[in-house]
Every structure is written in C-alpha cells, then in structure tokens.
C-alpha cells in the first residue's frame, strides 16, 4: 500500500494576513516610538547646550583673568555694542559656523537663516503658532553643531538671556523641544567681591529654579564680621584694598591684609654719655612716629610686637607693643616710656643733633631684625 508524503505549511492567505497585522501594529506604534526617541535626543542635546553656556559664564572671570564679572564682556550697559559683548563671547567660547551680529541690526537675516519661518507651541492641548521676534536678543550665531544661538549679556542685575534652536530651521520647530529660551541668574558682585561667582546653580528654561548659595550671609556692601568670615573662607579677600581688611576682627587673620607700617622710635637715654652705665633707656613720644605706605598715621591699626633693645650686642631691655602703640598715639609729646631694662648696657649718647644710637640695635620679639609680620601687619622699625 502506498502512502503520500504529507506537507504542512501556511497558506498564502495566512501569510498575507500576518503581514497585514504586523503592518497595522507598526503603523500604530512606530511613529510614537520614533517621536519618543527623537524627543529624547533633543532633550539630551538641550541639556548639553545648557551646561556649555552655564559653564562658560561661570568660568568667565577666571578664563578672562579679570578682577570681577563686571570687567568681562558679558557685563554691559543698556546701550552696549552687542558685537563687543555677547558677540565676542559667542565667537570666543563656542564653535561658530557663521556669526550674524546683533539682533538690532540684522533681525531679518537672523530670522531667515537661523530660525524657521513658523514655530508652534502647545497651550491647553492646542497647537498654536507664535512669533519668536520678542525672544531674539543680543547677538546671534549659527554653531558648527547645527545650533542657532542668540544671547545677551548681563545688564545691571538683569538675567543673562537667550534663545536657541537646536537644529536651526529644521523641524519640529516646537517650543520646549528643539526651540526654547533660557535665562541665567545675574552674577552678584561688588567692586570688592573678587570671587565673583554666579549664585545660580542651574540654567533655567520654562520654569526658573535658581538657587543662590544658602551659606552666603552677605548682601552687596556688607562687610560685617560674619560676611567677611565667609569671604575669608572662600578666598575672596585677596588684596589689601578689600573692605574686609578694615574689619578689626578679620584683618589679623588674613595675611593679604597685612599693612606695611614703619615705626620710628625716638630712643632717649636722657643725659647719657657714651659708656655711661647709669643711663636708662626711654622711648620719647616726641618724634616717635609711624608711617603706612609712606603716609604718616597717628593711630596704629593693630598692636605692634614687643620691641627688644640690644646695645653693643648685649640684650638691654624690652618694651611691650602696647607701650609702643601708646607712644605713637600719645598727644603729650613730653611723655617718656621707659624700657624694661635688664642690665646697664649703654645704648647711645646725646649731642646737639639728638640721640645717636650707633652702638645699639632694635629688634622685634623673636629676634626678627627690622621686619616682622605680626598681628596682621608687616612691621619695620628705625631708631634715632
């Protein structure tokens, strides 16, 4: 008995039906999947641009080697030349394919080459057309990565603002996707605040979320002890002209606040003659003076170190820094401040020209001759 070989398989109708089902599923699912993927790419691109702009602004004081943000090209007056401010910023810190100049001078060209003819936004679940004219500010450029970017500098305490289209005139041209505006909180600084860091930690887009430094207790122009302590810890006090150097609680703690002060002590051994062992050493208020940066001062900003007197190489006595300060600031120029003598060494002799101390020398505590940094001041001394 002969048997026929059985062949099983799909009919043409079944295959066509399966292909049709797969096609229907693809038509339903694929656009949403592609759209989601495209939106994710745009979101990542937007994040990278945000970080690039924020980083360039935050580091501008350092990269430009300026004293504060007000000296950079991204701080300007209301009537500033955008080519000399935001334009320079764009050309120096971004890979520019074509620079278009200021919006005020070239708005039509910028709109036609950098942006699309029409943009959309969703409002109340409706897709609406909107005009980008009011968004365009400052100076504009097309970057080599395809981004069209416009930005304006900080004016006073106004935000740094700008707009971008991540892929230029190409679609989807929808606000919040490939097109958006951005705003960076103004950099807070004063002429004495050399740190000049932006207090903003983020660059915002649709919803601002600017967070100032919560540890900063200072307002502009506040040089109280808590504020100056903050500046000191942050390394802001980096020159002797900083207002915090005038704060008596801070000045001794910051080496840069040290003021060069030269003391001139009128050593007065009375009627001593050379080699007179009975002579007592004094500092006379008369002609005992101090100079700071070459200018005479009558009030010392800090207590100088103790003064030690040597005569013919032998230690002869000490006068406390507090007494030296009193001698400089004394209104009674006839007062004599006696040294705490330890022996009878003779330190000079008197002539018609005054006291001559050719056999003596004066040093500060610690055997630091002539110059000594103490209590926030670089002290030097001369005697006559």
Return the SS3 of 372: strand
User: In Å, what is the CA distance from 173 to each residue of 42, 143, 150?
Assistant: 11, 17, 16
Distance CA 176, CA 137 (A): 18
pLDDT at residue 299 in the model: 83
Q: What percent of the chain has pLDDT over 90?
A: 18
pLDDT at residue 192 in the model: 37
For the whole model, what pTM was predicted?
0.45
Confirm if 356 and 349 have CB atoms less than 8 A apart: yes
Confidence band, pLDDT 50/70/90 cuts, at residue 5: low
Confirm if 191 and 68 have CB atoms less than 8 A apart: yes
- Is the peptide bond preceding residue 48 cis, with omega within 30 degrees of 0? no
Confirm if 302 and 378 have CB atoms less than 8 A apart: no
Q: What is the mean pLDDT of residues 150-170?
A: 90
For the cut 60, the answer to whether the pLDDT of residue 306 exceeds it is: yes
Average pLDDT over the chain, rounded to an integer: 75
pLDDT at residue 83 in the model: 93
Burial class (CB in 10 A: 0-12, 13-18, 19+), 94: buried
For the cut 70, the answer to whether the pLDDT of residue 331 exceeds it is: yes
Residue pLDDT, tens place only, 266-292: 776 655 554 555 566 777 788 888 887
How many CA within 13 A on the CB side of residue 51?
A: 6
For the cut 90, the answer to whether the pLDDT of residue 35 exceeds it is: no
Confidence band, pLDDT 50/70/90 cuts, at residue 163: very high
pLDDT at residue 139 in the model: 95
Distance CA 289, CA 340 (A): 21
pLDDT at residue 185 in the model: 85
Residue pLDDT, tens place only, 225-247: 888 888 888 777 776 667 787 78
DSSP per-residue codes, 131-165: --GGG--SEEEEETTS-EEEEE-EETTPPEEEEEE
Residue pLDDT, tens place only, 335-373: 777 777 666 555 655 455 444 555 556 666 555 555 666
pLDDT at residue 272 in the model: 58
Residue pLDDT, tens place only, 58-83: 888 888 888 788 888 998 877 889 99
Say how far residue 217 (Cα) sits from the centre of its chain: 16
Q: What is the mean pLDDT of residues 254-267?
A: 75
Q: What percent of the chain has pLDDT over 70?
A: 68
For the cut 50, the answer to whether the pLDDT of residue 104 exceeds it is: yes
């Amino acid at each position: 008995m002969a048997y026929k070989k059985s062949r099983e398989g799909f009919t043409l109708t079944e295959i066509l039906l399966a292909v049709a089902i797969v096609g229907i599923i693809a038509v339903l699912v694929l656009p949403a999947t592609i759209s989601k993927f495209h939106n994710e790419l745009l979101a990542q691109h937007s994040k990278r641009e945000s970080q690039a702009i924020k980083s360039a602004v935050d580091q501008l004081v350092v990269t430009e080697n300026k004293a504060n943000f007000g000296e950079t090209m991204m701080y300007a007056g209301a009537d500033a030349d955008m080519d000399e401010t935001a334009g320079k910023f764009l050309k120096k810190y971004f890979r520019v394919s074509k620079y278009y100049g200021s919006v005020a001078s070239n708005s039509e060209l910028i709109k036609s080459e950098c942006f699309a003819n029409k943009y959309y936004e969703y409002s109340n679940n409706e897709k609406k057309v909107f005009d980008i004219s009011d968004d365009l500010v400052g100076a504009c450029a097309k970057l080599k990565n395809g981004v069209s970017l416009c930005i304006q500098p900080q004016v006073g305490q106004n935000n740094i603002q700008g707009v971008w289209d991540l892929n230029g005139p190409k679609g989807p041209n929808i606000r919040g996707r490939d097109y958006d505006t951005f705003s960076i909180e103004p950099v807070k600084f004063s002429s004495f605040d050399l740190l000049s860091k932006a207090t903003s930690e983020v660059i915002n887009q649709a919803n601002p979320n600017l967070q100032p430094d919560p540890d900063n207790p200072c307002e502009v122009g506040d040089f109280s002890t808590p504020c100056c302590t903050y500046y000191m810890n942050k390394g802001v006090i980096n020159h002797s002209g900083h207002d915090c150097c005038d704060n008596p609680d801070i000045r001794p703690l910051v080496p840069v606040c040290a003021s060069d002060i030269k003391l001139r002590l009128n050593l007065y051994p009375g009627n001593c003659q050379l080699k007179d062992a009975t002579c007592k050493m004094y500092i006379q208020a008369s002609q005992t003076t101090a100079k700071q940066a070459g200018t005479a001062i009558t009030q010392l900003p800090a207590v100088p170190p103790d003064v030690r007197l040597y005569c013919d190489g032998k230690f002869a006595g000490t006068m406390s820094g507090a007494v030296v300060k009193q001698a400089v600031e004394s209104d009674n120029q006839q007062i004599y401040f006696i040294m705490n003598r330890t022996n009878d060494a003779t330190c000079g002799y008197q002539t018609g020209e005054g006291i001559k101390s050719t056999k003596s020398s004066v040093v500060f505590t610690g055997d630091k001759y002539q110059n000594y940094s103490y209590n926030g001041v670089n002290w030097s001394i001369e005697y006559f």
